[in-house]
């Protein structure tokens, strides 16, 4: 008699199958569509190949291209197609590694730089491999056998030396094989669209002391139409590039004289300060205390906090009178020093300390990008000191704060991710386990859906990261809420509890926008420079229809300026149509045209930057309507 096993599906339905059935056979039994679209399978939360045999009761979920994890499997498999194409054309090429990335994949290879013509040949060869519909097979072999298999590839041999297991996996497709943990899609024919994007230089394992390799990037899809949509999206992304718009709208620039440290023009500074003002308004409502702490600290501080051991290579250091100091790379240690400077009691908690402090991190010059990857930045940073019994309510309040900022103000959706203990951490396991369980319990009780990102926590504690989706459906990791049981203990920061005993508070690290610079870069692209009125550097442009109207235009400008509306008047001797077009290109929300009629009635005729005529308004009424738009932070321009 054939032994049966029970398979539980995501909807909690349960079906019986014969022991030893493969995931692909289960997919086939459900529907032809699922069998066609399935790329891999999650068996008891572990991602496996579809030909994996299931021999015990299991919980499974099929992964398609709709799932992020499915995309990663698809793109990693496409990296193998890319590698096969390259080695088919140039057999002497040494392969290194080829991972999936956030969008697409790459493969690093040891050879001379590629020409544009060679990249085209790689893409053509990849389509040949796809057309062959080569079956992808996993084989597990002894590590010593693998060393023999890859004896001519020093990079694979280096990786094999680091593997602890005596058995390793190799994936085959046709005559091609590669050292890989997998999983992979069942066959190359599932890839219907494949595009080689570019090639660049990269050091082996990211270490500039190692040999320079060639990194070839690609993207692939299970449907040709998806590639067409992706290409259209890339064109839109180019139009919205915050570096391009930053120049056109006179917001900011960067200079080789200080790499990764943006210069903000007056218009950019207005946006920067409005973002900070948004938080200062909320801090008053939510009882945060704003502070200012030093920018340079003696290395003793960083040794106590653990950053000297875990983060030193990312810090700017300097010698001062024979002692080592470092520019501040984060605010948290200084905030613990500030907390400890006074005798604290349970009555002081929760204590919410906020700072818009200047931070420096020594990012590699090759990674710096406009506002989204910088060396000097400011966070909307806060550290909250709480007693254990206050933790649930404080986390609830924090998530309410996050909801307000992203959903109410910026109308952006987000998803939550819980990141757990990394390989390199400080503190003891018991404290870490307690912190992780606390966060899981809080998210579960508050009813939030979340995914777990194993091993990606901060070195001092687990964290909740928020991935925010912009208008182009791109995901950005922005807000972070980190639970820290360690740092207050390392600094011996305590408070007196109700029973007279001294206890270490729990420390919550919290940044909602992340960094002002990075968030500003993201929203420039999110809005395509068409900011809502409250955030626009220039909210109103006044245009006189002729010389006789200039005096009234100046009067309108002065009136709006006195009422805290950012306004400019265009008085140059150009045509009205030219001035209107210029205001539209600068993406000014409201464009006022005034002439003899408006002067006589003390009115303004208003159009939006989209060239929609909004009508004629009494000057005072227009002022009140604009101020209401600013107060409510609405994105709709209609008056």
Residue 215 a catalytic site member: no
pLDDT band at residue 8, thresholds of 50, 70 and 90? very high
d(CA 634, CA 639): 11
Which secondary-structure segment (H or E) carries 450? Answer: strand 450-453
Domain count for the chain: 4
Residues 453 and 586 in one domain: no
Residue 379 a catalytic site member: yes
pLDDT band at residue 434, thresholds of 50, 70 and 90? confident
- pLDDT in the model for residue 54: 95
**Does residue 15 belong to any structural domain of this protein?**
yes
Residues 517 and 404 in one domain: yes
- pLDDT in the model for residue 517: 97
Condensed to tens digits (0 to 9), the pLDDT of residues 53-107 reads: 999 999 999 999 999 999 999 999 999 999 999 999 999 999 999 999 989 999 9
* Residue showing tokens 């990849």: 126
- Name the domain boundary from 237, 268, 286: 237
β-bridge pairing 590-594 and 40-43: unpaired
Cβ neighbours of residue 471 closer than 8 Å, sequence gap 6 or more: 526, 527
Residue 332 a catalytic site member: yes
Residues 199 and 273 in one domain: no
State which of 299-303, 362-366, 440-444 shows the largest mean pLDDT. Answer: 299-303
Residues 295 and 357 in one domain: yes
**Does residue 9 belong to any structural domain of this protein?**
yes
Which secondary-structure segment (H or E) carries 415? Answer: strand 414-419
d(CA 18, CA 2): 6
Residue 463 a catalytic site member: yes
**Burial bucket for residue 379 (CB in 10 Å: 0-12, 13-18, 19+):** buried
Helix axes 68-89, 116-132, angle to 10 degrees: 110
Residue 311 has pLDDT above 80, yes or no: yes
Residues 463 and 564 in one domain: no
Q: Active-site residue among 242, 383, 421, 530?
A: 383
d(CA 596, CA 575): 17
CATH of the domain at 560: 3.40.50.800
Residues 223 and 261 in one domain: no
Condensed to tens digits (0 to 9), the pLDDT of residues 125-174 reads: 999 999 999 999 999 999 999 999 999 999 999 999 999 889 999 999 99
**Does residue 637 belong to any structural domain of this protein?**
no
**Does residue 638 belong to any structural domain of this protein?**
no
- Mean pLDDT of all residues in 181-201: 96
Q: Active-site residue among 173, 379, 482, 586?
A: 379
Q: Active-site residue among 381, 465, 482, 539?
A: 381
- pLDDT in the model for residue 426: 76
Q: Active-site residue among 71, 184, 214, 332?
A: 332
**Burial bucket for residue 286 (CB in 10 Å: 0-12, 13-18, 19+):** middle
β-bridge pairing 475-484 and 463-469: antiparallel
Residue 361 a catalytic site member: yes
**Does residue 243 belong to any structural domain of this protein?**
no
pLDDT band at residue 435, thresholds of 50, 70 and 90? confident
Residue 295 has pLDDT above 80, yes or no: yes
d(CA 157, CA 189): 30
pLDDT band at residue 486, thresholds of 50, 70 and 90? confident
**Does residue 395 belong to any structural domain of this protein?**
yes
Residue 381 a catalytic site member: yes
Residue 165 a catalytic site member: no
- pLDDT in the model for residue 94: 97
- Name the domain boundary from 526, 552, 578: 526
- Name the domain boundary from 47, 63, 79: 63
Residue 2 has pLDDT above 80, yes or no: no
- What tokens does 400 get? 């309410």
**Secondary structure of the chain: what % helix, strand, coil (to 5)?**
40, 30, 30
CATH of the domain at 224: 3.30.980.10
- pLDDT in the model for residue 447: 84
Residues 288 and 435 in one domain: yes
10 Å Cβ neighbour count for 246?
A: 24
**Does residue 198 belong to any structural domain of this protein?**
yes
Quote the domain boundaries for residue 473.
248-526
Residues 206 and 105: beta-carbon distance below 8 Å: no
- pLDDT in the model for residue 433: 86
Average of per-residue pLDDT values in the chain: 94
Q: DSSP 3-state assignment of 164?
A: coil
Residues 123 and 194: beta-carbon distance below 8 Å: yes
Residues 108 and 10 in one domain: no
- pLDDT in the model for residue 611: 92
CATH of the domain at 47: 3.10.20.30
Q: Active-site residue among 61, 280, 312, 361?
A: 361
Q: DSSP 3-state assignment of 509?
A: strand
**Does residue 242 belong to any structural domain of this protein?**
no
- pLDDT in the model for residue 452: 87
Residues 203 and 339 in one domain: no
- pLDDT in the model for residue 639: 87
Q: Active-site residue among 463, 579, 609, 623?
A: 463
Which secondary-structure segment (H or E) carries 323? Answer: strand 323-327
Residues 207 and 226 in one domain: yes
Residues 39 and 178 in one domain: no
- pLDDT in the model for residue 485: 84
Residues 117 and 10 in one domain: no
Q: Active-site residue among 125, 328, 375, 509?
A: 509
Q: Residue 405 has what DSSP assignment?
A: I
d(CA 99, CA 71): 12
- pLDDT in the model for residue 446: 82
pLDDT band at residue 437, thresholds of 50, 70 and 90? confident
pLDDT band at residue 204, thresholds of 50, 70 and 90? very high
Condensed to tens digits (0 to 9), the pLDDT of residues 513-552 reads: 999 999 999 999 999 999 999 999 999 999 999 999 999 9
pTM over the 0.85 mark = no
d(CA 357, CA 365): 23
């Amino acid at each position: 008699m054939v032994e049966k096993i029970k398979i539980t599906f995501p909807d909690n339905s349960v079906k019986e199958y014969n022991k030893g059935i493969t995931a692909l056979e289960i997919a086939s039994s459900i529907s032809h569509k699922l069998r066609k679209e399935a790329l891999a399978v999650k068996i008891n939360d572990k991602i496996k190949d579809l030909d994996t045999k299931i021999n015990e009761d299991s919980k499974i979920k099929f992964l398609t291209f709709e799932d992020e994890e499915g995309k990663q499997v698809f793109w990693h498999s496409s990296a193998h197609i890319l590698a096969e194409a390259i080695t088919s054309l140039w057999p002497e090429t040494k392969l290194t590694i080829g991972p999936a990335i956030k969008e697409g994949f790459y493969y690093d290879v040891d050879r001379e730089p590629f020409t544009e013509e060679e990249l085209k040949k790689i893409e053509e060869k990849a389509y040949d491999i796809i057309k062959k519909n080569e079956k992808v097979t996993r084989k597990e072999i002894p590590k010593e056998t693998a060393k023999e298999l890859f004896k001519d590839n020093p990079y694979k041999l280096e990786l094999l030396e680091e593997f602890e297991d005596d058995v390793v996996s190799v994936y085959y497709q046709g005559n091609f094989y590669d050292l890989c943990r997998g999983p992979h899609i069942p066959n190359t024919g599932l890839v219907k669209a494949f595009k080689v994007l570019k090639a660049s230089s990269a050091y082996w394992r990211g270490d500039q002391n190692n040999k320079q390799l060639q990194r070839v990037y690609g993207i692939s899809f299970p449907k040709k139409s998806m590639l067409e949509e992706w290409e259209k999206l890339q064109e839109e992304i180019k139009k919205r590039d915050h570096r391009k718009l930053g120049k056109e709208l006179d917001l900011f620039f960067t200079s080789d004289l200080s790499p990764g440290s943006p210069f903000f023009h007056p218009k950019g500074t207005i946006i920067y300060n409005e973002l900070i003002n948004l938080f200062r308004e909320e801090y008053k409502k939510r009882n945060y205390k704003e502070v200012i702490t030093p920018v340079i600290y003696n290395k003793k501080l960083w040794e106590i906090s653990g950053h000297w051991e875990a983060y030193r290579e990312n810090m700017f250091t300097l010698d001062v009178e024979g002692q080592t100091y470092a520019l501040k790379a984060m605010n948290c240690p200084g905030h613990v020093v500030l907390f400890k400077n006074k005798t604290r009691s349970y009555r002081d908690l929760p204590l919410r300390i906020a700072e818009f402090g200047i931070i420096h991190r020594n990012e590699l010059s090759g990674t710096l990008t406009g506002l989204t990857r910088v060396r000097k930045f400011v966070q909307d940073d806060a550290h909250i000191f709480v007693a254990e019994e206050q933790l649930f309510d404080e986390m609830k309040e924090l998530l309410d704060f996050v909801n307000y900022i992203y959903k109410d103000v910026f109308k952006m959706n987000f998803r939550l991710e819980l990141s757990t203990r990394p390989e390199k951490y400080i503190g003891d396991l018991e404290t870490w386990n307690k912190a992780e369980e606390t966060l899981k319990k809080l998210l579960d009780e508050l009813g939030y859906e979340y995914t777990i990102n194993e091993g990606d926590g901060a070195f001092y504690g687990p964290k909740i990261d928020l991935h925010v989706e912009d208008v182009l459906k791109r995901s950005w990791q922005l807000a972070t809420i980190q639970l820290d049981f360690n740092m207050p203990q390392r600094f011996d920061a305590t408070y007196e509890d109700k029973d007279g005993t001294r206890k270490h508070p729990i420390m919550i690290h919290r940044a909602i926008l992340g960094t002002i610079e990075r968030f500003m870069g993201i929203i420039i692209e999110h809005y395509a420079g068409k900011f809502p009125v409250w955030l626009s550097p220039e909210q109103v442009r006044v245009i006189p229809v002729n010389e006789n109207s200039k005096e009234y235009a100046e009067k309108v400008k002065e009136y709006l300026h006195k009422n805290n509306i950012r306004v400019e008047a265009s008085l140059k001797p150009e045509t009205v149509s030219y001035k209107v077009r210029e205001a539209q290109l600068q993406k000014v929300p409201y464009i006022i045209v005034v002439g003899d009629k408006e002067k006589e009635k003390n009115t303004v005729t208003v159009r939006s930057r989209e060239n929609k005529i909004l009508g004629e308004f009494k000057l005072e009424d227009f002022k009140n309507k604009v101020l209401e738009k600013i107060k409510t932070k609405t994105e709709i321009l209609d008056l």
